[in-house]
């Protein structure tokens, strides 16, 4: 089953519109918080488990120097710890500190409460279905991106704006 180009174009438009809306909501929620959107994104991914800095940079889609600055800031704030990788002394492992775990929980609770407030006119079924669809979309995009990175010839071009 193939998706029409006009349908795909509309989906791209809706994704970017959603990104802008999420950034606006996030920015409004961050007033007075020392941990900005980018740092919160790093916290979220580090919160999934201890990882090498190189893997984290790749997962976030940022360069090693950018990630290094974010990690240094999070270390200064006491939210992240870094230690040598026992399997490779040149590499470093990054993990949340106890205060980082608490900060991430607080951020996620605040975001969920904010979204819950904005979706008061949605049914539980609407939210569950939207969540399921977004998860499916994200997995399809990740799978396609991994295939493209691996050099698979059957992936199409996806242009980011």
User: pLDDT digits over 3-34, tens only?
Assistant: 899 999 999 999 999 988 888 777 776 665 66
The two tokens of residue 58 are 């790749």
Question: Mind listing the pLDDT tens digit for each residue in 92-105?
Answer: 899 999 999 999 99
Q: pTM for the whole thing?
A: 0.72
Q: What is the mean pLDDT of residues 63-69?
A: 90
* Region 35-121: CATH code: 1.10.10.10
User: Rounded CA gap, 115 and 54, in Å?
Assistant: 32
CA distances to 15, 72, 73, 115 from 112, in Å = 20, 27, 25, 5
The two tokens of residue 111 are 């975001």
User: Rounded CA gap, 52 and 33, in Å?
Assistant: 27
Provide the strand spans (E) within the chain: 51-52, 80-85, 88-96
Percent pLDDT > 70 in the chain is 85
Residue ranges per structural domain of the chain: 1-32, 35-121
């Amino acid at each position: 089953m193939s998706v029409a180009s006009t349908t795909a174009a509309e989906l791209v438009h809706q994704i970017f519109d959603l990104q802008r809306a999420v950034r606006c909501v996030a920015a409004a929620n961050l007033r007075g918080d020392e941990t900005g959107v980018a740092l919160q994104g790093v916290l979220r991914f580090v919160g999934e488990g201890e990882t090498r800095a190189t893997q984290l940079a790749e997962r976030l889609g940022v360069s090693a120097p950018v990630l290094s600055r974010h990690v240094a800031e999070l270390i200064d704030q006491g939210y992240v710890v870094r230690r040598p990788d026992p399997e490779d002394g040149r590499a470093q492992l990054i993990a949340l500190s106890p205060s980082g775990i608490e900060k991430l929980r607080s951020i996620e609770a605040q975001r969920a409460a904010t979204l819950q407030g904005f979706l008061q006119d949605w049914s539980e079924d609407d939210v569950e279905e939207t969540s399921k669809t977004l998860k499916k979309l994200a997995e399809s995009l990740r799978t396609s991106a991994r295939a493209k990175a691996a050099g698979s010839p059957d992936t199409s071009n996806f242009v980011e704006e």
